[in-house]
Every structure is written in C-alpha cells, then in structure tokens.
A and B are shown apart, each in its own frame.
Chain A
Amino acid sequence: MIEEPFARGTTFFHRRDARVKLIPALAITLILALSSSFLVTGTGCILTGVLLTLSRPDPGLLLRRICSVNIFTLFLWFTLPLTYGGTKTLPFFFLDLSLDGIRVATLITLKTNGILFCFLALLATSTVASLGHGLEKLGMPRKLTFLLLFSYRQLFVIHQEYLRLQRAARLRGFIPANSLHTYRTYSHLFGMTLVKSWNRAERVHQAMVLRGFNGTLIPLNQPELRREDYLFLATILLISFLLAAIPFFC
C-alpha cells in the first residue's frame, strides 16, 4: 500500500494550508537548484534541515527516505571525481581525483538534500489531495490538477491490483525461482495487473459519473487562510529571500 506517512501528524507544519507551503517550497527549490555557491546551498541545507526537524518526522522513516535519495548522489561521488577532469587533482592512493569533480559532487549533494528536506518538511506534511486542491487555488489549470490527483489515485489502484495478484499467486504455492515458469508467471502477473487496473479505472470512473461528476472535483474542505498561515508564509519567504541574498553580501 502506498501511504503518506509524513502527512500524518499534528505539528504546526501539518496544520498549515497547502498553499502557504507550496509557494515557499517553490521559492526554496528554485534558489537551491539555481545557485552554484557553497554558502547558499550549505546554508539552505541547514535551514531546510531545521524546518524538517520542526515538522517532527518519524526518524526511521526519514532515514530510509534520505538514504534512498542519496543512493543517486553516491553514484555521482563514484563517478565525478574520476571523470570530471580539470587541472587540479588530489592524489588518493593510486588515483588522481579531480578537485572540480569533488566540488561539483558536493554541490549536487547539498542541493539534492536541501531540496529533499524542503519537500519533506513542507510538501510531505500535506496529503497529495490537499496539495492538488492548493495548486488549483493558486491558479494551476483545473485539468492539470485533475490529472495529478488521478494519476496519484491510479497509482494506488495499480499497486493494489498487483499486490492482490501476487498474494493470490503466493497462496497457491508460487515461489519465485530462476526458471521459465517464474518468468512466465511474472509476465502474466504484470499483464493482468495492467488489464485489471484499466478495468478498475473504468469502473471507478463510472461510479463517479453516476454520482454526478462532470469533470470538476469540488473539495469538501475549503479552508480559509488564517493568521498563522500568513505568518508562516512570510517567515519562510523571508528566510528564502535572505538565502537568495547571501551572494550579494559576501
């Protein structure tokens, strides 16, 4: 089952409207992604780390998330110092590591983690549904939010169908092995998952049409922005502004 474990919680962050989280998340992401200064990305990483701590995620879960993202940066660490080139090198046993390569790898690591922390602190604390509705209120076209919400929902359906079929196969004594039987079973499993998800989606659509759905999703919760929300927005925007301004002062 695909869960939204970070969205469960009652901290100050969880209670904020999706809109006031989306805007600063976009700002911080842009700043971190576009900056090539160590100071900005480093400070950004620390600041978003603080935000993340304030949103009190489950530590084990958090660690797993961070690890799974950093597997990609690890690849960069293996490749960039060896292949980046440049004149300055750092001797390391029998290898000459490119200093520029190390620089770039560090920068990318900082950026990646900064953005990850920012997303976990700001976006993951809302459900995808409220993010979708938040985006719509911020002016994203209705069709796009609809697409977002329903792709997400369909992901669940496919996953559920897959688990169901897999369970059925296992209950009937199927043990994966390196054999033709296994491959054939898996190909059937994947094929059936697709077909069944398709049918399922069609029936869910029918259910929606039967209940008067005509293309627009009307959210049940239409929260008003409160003072805390504005305060939150202002604070985080100020932080991101300062972050962006660092290069001009140093």
Chain B
Amino acid sequence: MITLPPLIELRNITYSCPGRTSPLLKEINFSSSKERIGLIGPNGCGKTTLFQIIMGLLTPDKGEVLLQGRIMKDEKDFRLLRRKLGFLFQNSDDQLFSPTVLEDVAFGPLNLGSSPEEAREISVRTLEGLGLKGFEERITHRLSGGEKKLVALATILSMQPDLLLLDEPSNNLDPETRERLIGILKDLDQAHIIISHDLDFLASTCSHLYTIEDQKLIRCKAKQIHSHDHIHPYGDHPHQHGT
C-alpha cells in the first residue's frame, strides 16, 4: 500500500517575533491530513502566528512547510497552498473588504476562475448553508460581530478548501449560533484545525487537542478532551477536570 504524504506538514519550524530575542515557536513538527484538531493555549503563545506561518504570511527563521509532501519555497508555491487551505482570521473586520456580503463571498471563487454566474451560485449556496439566507445584499461593515464571523467563514467555505484553519471561530457567537456552528463544522467534509479558548467547543468539534507550551507544539493526552454540559459562570476559561 502506498501511503500518501500528509496534506500539511511542518518541519522544524522556528520563528521569532521581530525585535525579540527568544523565539516564539521552536522546532515545531506537525502533520495532518484529515484530522479534526483543536489548538488551545494562553494568550500570546503564538497560535495565530503558527497559522500565519502555515499560510505563508510569515516566513519562519528555520524549517519548512510542506503541502502533500512538497516543500513550499516561494510565494508561487504558497499560492497553490492557499487554494487548499482556508484561514479564518481572529478578527473578521480584516477579512471582509467588499461592500456587500455577496461580493465578498464571491471574491474567492471569482479569483479561482469561476464565472460570475457560478460564483454567485456558489456564494448563495454557501450563505444558505450557514443560515445566512437573505444576507446577500447586506453591507459588510454594518454587520454585527457574530454575523461578520459567519460571513467571514462563508468567504472561506465558498473556495471549497480541503483544510480549514479557524482562529477563534466561536468568539462573539451567541449560544444558539455557537451550537449551529458546531453542527456545521461536524457536518463539513473538510478537516480543520481550530484555535479556541472554549474547551467545550473544541470537545464537540475536534478529535485531537494540541497546545503550545514552552514554544513547543504538544499533543494533549487523549483523555484530556471531553465534553460536558454545565455553565461556566465566569466565562469559558480552559480548565481541566481531574486528569
């Protein structure tokens, strides 16, 4: 049997922030094909940075990113990678730039070569799938925070990527929408990596959990991820129940 190379692989990635002496991420090795992964960790530990490295927005000091076994060297390689990976920003304000929702969702498909009619159709379908029917002509910068998040997700799903990198997707969502998002993510065929501080959210959408500790990416032990139904009166801090 031939084993396919993993969809995405990181080899020995080391990255330091400009102007800092100690690296933020050190010798990170990671690979994923079809898994549903959660990534949790304290503020400022480099989760968003890791996503940006994967997408080729930041260049690591050392190490390489591989797509299906091929080393991504320059911008041209990463252009290919970006067709297969969709990245949802932590701040949706940065992600939406077209005047209307429909134009924004159609932007990706148009760039990938769809005709305007196809792009329109894909976008309407994607919006519908996220329960955003009727949002087509809304003005993007006048949406609420949660609506922006869902529309931003639509702009990525409309490009039909193989892997989703979602940076805190459940932020700003009301409990009902959050449940809906969980349902959507469970139903999607795509694999995903989700950054979140909401452990319950990760428990219901992911099968593995990673964390960044001491500049390293660490896979958590299987039993640490579990779902439980109770209300956290003081927000949803990551917490552990008797390991």
Contact = CB atoms under 8 A, between A and B. Distances in A.
A206 B79 CA distance: 12
B99 interface: yes
A218 B57 CA distance: 23
B32 interface: no
Given A203-B89, A220-B110, A211 B159 contact: yes
B102 A210 contact: no
Given A207-B89, A210-B87, A214-B111, A160 B141 contact: yes
B83 interface: yes
B155 interface: yes
A206 B52 CA distance: 10
Given A204-B97, A207-B94, A220-B110, A212 B119 contact: no
A129 interface: yes
Interface in A209-229: 209-214, 218-222
Contacts of B97: 153, 204, 207-208
B161 to A, nearest CB: 10
Given A212-B108, A214-B111, A220 B102 contact: yes
B51 to A, nearest CB: 11
A127 B87 CA distance: 30
B95 interface: yes
A156 interface: yes
Contacts of B110: 218, 220
A218 B55 contact: no
B120 interface: yes
A56 interface: no
A129 B99 contact: yes
A211 B107 contact: yes
A222 B116 contact: yes
B75 to A, nearest CB: 9
Q: How many A residues touch the partner, as a band?
A: 20 to 34
Interface residues of B, number: 29
Contacts of A212: 79, 82-83, 108, 111-112, 159
A200 interface: yes
B120 A220 contact: yes
Contact of B99 (A127, A203, A204, A222): A127
Interface string B38-60: 00000000000000000101000
Interface string A131-146: 0000000000000000
Contacts of B155: 211
Contacts of B108: 211-212
Contacts of B164: none
A204 B156 CA distance: 14
Interface in B139-184: 141, 155-156, 159
Contacts of A218: 110-111, 116
B9 interface: no
B94 A204 contact: yes
Given A211-B155, A212-B82, A200 B87 contact: no
A160 B159 CA distance: 29
Given A206-B57, A218-B110, 4 more contacts: A209-B82, A211-B156, A212-B79, A220-B102
9 contacts: A127-B99, A156-B141, A206-B57, A208-B97, A209-B82, A210-B86, A211-B107, A211-B155, A212-B159
